[in-house]
Structure 1
């Protein structure tokens, strides 16, 4: 019989201390399971009552067993059959002096459960289901069958749902199963919104446990309103005994991050709050925070973020990797903390060098970077970044060099679609298997596509838009891995090269890009049922070659090229209201980057904004800097067009390189498809680009002086009110902060 390190080894321990030590050491290197043939033979002997030397009795049922088999995997049966617990050396000295037991009676366990336990002892497997897992785990724990306990815990971990996670968490704590308790609690925090809407067990929690959930920094909620509404539901279950805790619960809710409507109508005016004297100071503090008119006072002390507005920790992090900026490729990495609404610079650049116009895909905690261009070379090389270890490594290269490549993941495989090899636009497709570290060729697309975008939806891969060497494309097609065929779908409403697409709410969203004439702010979604395209609200910024990713049930557009300059602007699309809202800009202006969402990182604190207590001070400093910059602009008497441009671009925007921006204003480069077929690239050098130089802003015709002065006066009168509105708006709704461009 092969030995299992996790199980007991009585046949070894009866041999003596020295030999016992040697055999135990060698046993660790043996296979952890017995062969199926041997296991089945032993079980057949048991079922035929052959060579059985003991009996286990539960209620009116009795099971014939072999003592050695049961003792090998259960400390309880070992002690019962031998009459002792092993000595410290584990050699079994004195075993011969103890009378062996032949019949074991176990009360309180059903015959069905005991049969499962015995079956596992012989076969190392048994039937675990929702109906028996709790009783089976209790029985396995009672008889000391560690391997079976582990399998039951794994089953419960795999079957966690919003409906059962609270009951499993309570069961695990009652049985002192700390690891299972932590998994269930983590699941509850991560999927809090669904748990709050569908779970009923949470209403039966005591105040201590309930408060520990709603006050936890790990609580994952886009809207703090949900937390308060759950508190009200919890009190409503037993108002007479629970309404006394309303003030205590309010300290666990981040009331400063609630929407003003919910705070004013459902918190401030709620009967539970009105009747509680201890709640009144909390209402006053929240009200003062939301409407603090002295926020922009330059003489004010440094602000700290109060506990009522401290953002919780995100469960997902967007990684923005590489790109093109200032005429060169970049290797920089930034991560987006969706709760603090901040981009964080990460010191983990690829030592192999920077790349732009590449594609990336995520499997687990690893980000695969495929192909691309560094300003000189078109890559077929591929790299992988381990977000836990923060290390880059090489994987197998592709068969073809691919710049402007579209990359997506499906069923654990990574697909590299189309692109540009330095000579031709490609329709070929390759598939990477991480288990074998090999690329294989699959059927080509119907169209050549570089600078396109791809995503996965309902088990298919959709490739949209792009450039075929002659024109920007409005076509799209999908690949079905079952039929191994590419199939065209209806054309989009716009031609789009340098486009980005995502699968969102069971539909295909295609956004931005270059139509051969201008960068686009439009977006459209493809309905799979009707096979039709529908426009969505336009973005606040036109852009091509940008990052697009989903987080917090919103679509984020990140960076890109707007036709004049490379940008760092970030905005998010809210499907419920069909509108785009502003988020904080990246720290670095860049296009041709990749953006990926990595969820559940065990070291997520390495990728989030560290100084969360200084968020308010950071925002105050930015608004004050913006105010002074606008005041300077007002005295410079510049043209109306430039004023309006700055008005839109300076809201909460800090240019990381003012000299570069000035140069871009002087020399604006745009793609010219007939000469250089690579639309959608950045404003300076890029593969296959021609430059077009426009006159500098100083040569533009100014607007009338009277109209301009009136404009500046109106702007001056509105500045103070607008700055306060900009200050307050980001505190409400989502944390993605959430100002609209004029």
Structure 2
């Protein structure tokens, strides 16, 4: 008898059903419950209107409501003090329940502003798209005043710039505060080398410094024409801050301006300070509050659009701490009486030192140095064929593999071939015309591949591997060999040092550092390798070690004034300049210079702090590029020239179109002089021999 087999188990698929339109039905059902005031667990108060709501729905739609309900969990009634437009609120309340936004055209602006305040991102984006598509010369200024979205601002700014004539002819433009500015000390060729917008940015920087943050009032800038001087460092000085000794050598307009400013200050001091609106707190009201009240608090300082009205006269629309205003600038010819003098020390109204305001007194043009294609921190920077080359690094958390070179003649960064792998926290150096990149990390692991850039093939090429894959190690070239110094292995500082010979493609070990360190600044000077500062287990170092290849030993050198890591250094003006870095708590902008008799002394400070900065010498200038300011990653650069003792972020005069203009003007001047001499000789030749000088 055959044995009965067990029945085979049948595996059935689970039930899977999705009701079409269920989410929509659910949302509309919740909205209906809200309107019928059923199962509501909170009440929002907007002005005189009450709105019963369900906490879970609003908290799911907006982080604003989530935070409000979490902070005041036990409360039932919530008064929205900064929300007064109940109609706009109702549109958005319906949106949170239904996902549908139906708003009349005339209400889109207030709904956008409220959506921004309530952090309803998608609703605000929808309003942005609608407003951007409906811009006109009549409504663009009104929309721009409260635009919070960066892309919307850019769209409006571009529209205003393209239609500047129509916008500035509109009656709404004439209702804006007017800030008149006269600028003296500006050479015509210097002005022509710059774009209008940048000069207005200098004016905006001046305005920002001249508004008292404790008593902000735009009338301080609108009450009369502001007379400023363009200094040789491209900063603007208000003549009210210049000593009387300097002003007395200026023309009558400048002297009258100085006297009027003194009287205004004296009157305000005598009468006391008027109250104003500030951050929504109410006192005596001024016509133009520099701190706008309302649900969205803005502190925007920017130039929206510019326009040349006539020769030497320009106009700009600008935002000053959230207030839209019109700035007019007129360039005044240098004063014949003053001998074209200008204050040299903006912050020192007592000394009144002056310098001749000749064209070549300016160390730079009015054209800002171009920025890199991306911000770079802890990256490679080297000089190739008298041009800067930047490669790799990281921007926020992403390691980069891009590279680019700076064309100083055209003031632009030009893309080069990508590196073979992404690299951050590494260095580069050049040997025999090739740029070598060693170590670093791709964000996940240390890079062991060694690669170099071939300028003829215009590509990065991998050539073997390093001895130990490390990050933040120093790199220097000496006697056509590449030295890798210190670095970090995992979380441990290293004192290992290796040398690489590109000719043989071989590595060798040299004496270790006395102190393990990484993020040190490294350069060669007088046939020796200097390793400066750095960090050991996040303890910033002020020690310096010097390697002599003849004795093959490391010896300590003079200590730094400030312990620092992530600084940059190079040989400049016949010695070592060390700049930037971090002291472990903040990014630095100080510079130290190695002297033969006093050790390290403080030099000129950078314009902004830069940690993990790239520093190289190129064409008699010391460049500081990229890095981290302590607040943001940087794509900018600045330089220190051998002629001036301050860092500058403008294109050098000789690399700008000004040099061509000056050469042309000088050439024309010489030709004109030759013509005059020639005409003079002809005139003398035609004088009769018997005529006396007095007769002619």
Alignment TM-score, normalising by the size of structure 1: 0.37
Q: Whose relative contact order is higher, 1 or 2, with alpha carbons under 8 Å and at least 6 apart?
A: 1
Q: Relative to total residues, which structure has the larger helix share, 1 or 2?
A: 1
Alignment TM-score, normalising by the size of structure 2: 0.39
